[in-house]
Amino acid sequence: MATAARTSLKVGLIPGDGIGREVIPAAKAALLALGSDIPKPEFVDLLAGFELFTRTGTALPEETIRVLEEECDCALFGAVSSPTRRVAGYSSPIVALRKKLDLYANVRPVVSVAANPEDKPSVDLVVVRENTECLYVKQEELTIGEHGKEARAIRLITERASRRIGQMAFEIALGRPRKHLTIIHKSNVLSTTDGLFRETVRGVPSLPGVNGKYDGVEVAEQIVDSAVYRLFREPQIYDVMVAPNLYGDIISDAAAALVGSLGLVPSVNAGDKFVMGEPVHGSAPDILGQGIANPLASIRSAALMLRHLGYTKGADRIDKAVDEVIREGKVLTPDLGGKSGTKEVVDEVVKRI
């Protein structure tokens, strides 16, 4: 995402639910620690979430959308609680934000921290997930048939969305050392929907105006169930993985197991005009209020947001500080086998920044 020179960087902060309220302040602290390596950050607190819905009947206020669209340069989103039962009138605010701000790509790097800074990580991949359609269009219906209740869901795959996510995936692959892209699909069964996704992404290098730009990118394919198996058995075969919404969601969460915790994995929701960082973990109600939530995914999401905006130096400083904290292993939250609290980890990262 190209960005004009700024004297300030206005960041919308949307803690959301659960531990989102504990980890978003950590990302804010990391941004403030960067000093002159980024434009002076200014923050605006915004509301969204299931807990807000239970109080007000609205999960995503119009004012939150207005401020993001009219006043903010970027945003950070914490977490959202997702009730497993149907709740009348409720729909996920993060899904709605992705659609309203046209954040059509969810970019999730999964990188292990090598014991020696000079060594290559054993896991170094990026999941590029289409963010606006697939089964997440939430067009479902429940009817009564001959054998009782029948539930149906519409799965939407469009050429436009597949082309856009394909182009972003090729761009990301082009900028990485291996320049390797794997298309994830299930077109052996879902020949129409996944077939369209597969064919459209494969066709990106032949689009008008591309002119051989992606000739250096090697393209492979993998059926999604096989991809999950191979992800655990031989993660080193993957570099950039591009997938429809549901597959990308599952694969990126599964990949987090390879690096120790969901609390380490960042993401950005990105479009052509806006970017929003979001840690991959959920609202974690089981540890809410205990002061032990892992803030590193949120901090890394802030770095990824900066990198997407073009502030590479600031992003590098944050990532280097996080790597040092993980590598040293003395100040870590319980999910990583440590005994430190959220605040201790944040203080240690900020000190190293």
Which residues participate in catalysis according to the annotation? 136, 186, 225, 249, 253
User: Distance between CA atoms of 50 and 80, rounded to whole angstroms?
Assistant: 7
* Structure-token pair, residue 97: 């934000």
User: Distance between CA atoms of 129 and 156, rounded to whole angstroms?
Assistant: 15
Contacts 24+ apart (CB under 8 A), 152-157: 155/190, 155/193, 157/133, 157/193, 157/194, 157/196, 157/197, 157/244
User: Distance between CA atoms of 326 and 241, rounded to whole angstroms?
Assistant: 25
81, 291 contact by CB (below 8 A): no
Distances (CA, A) of 270 to 73, 229, 286: 12, 28, 30
The β-bridge relationship of strands 105-111 and 124-130 is: antiparallel
269, 103 contact by CB (below 8 A): yes
119 phi/psi in degrees, rounded to 5: -85, 155
242, 183 contact by CB (below 8 A): yes
* Structure-token pair, residue 139: 């067009």
User: Distance between CA atoms of 301 and 241, rounded to whole angstroms?
Assistant: 19
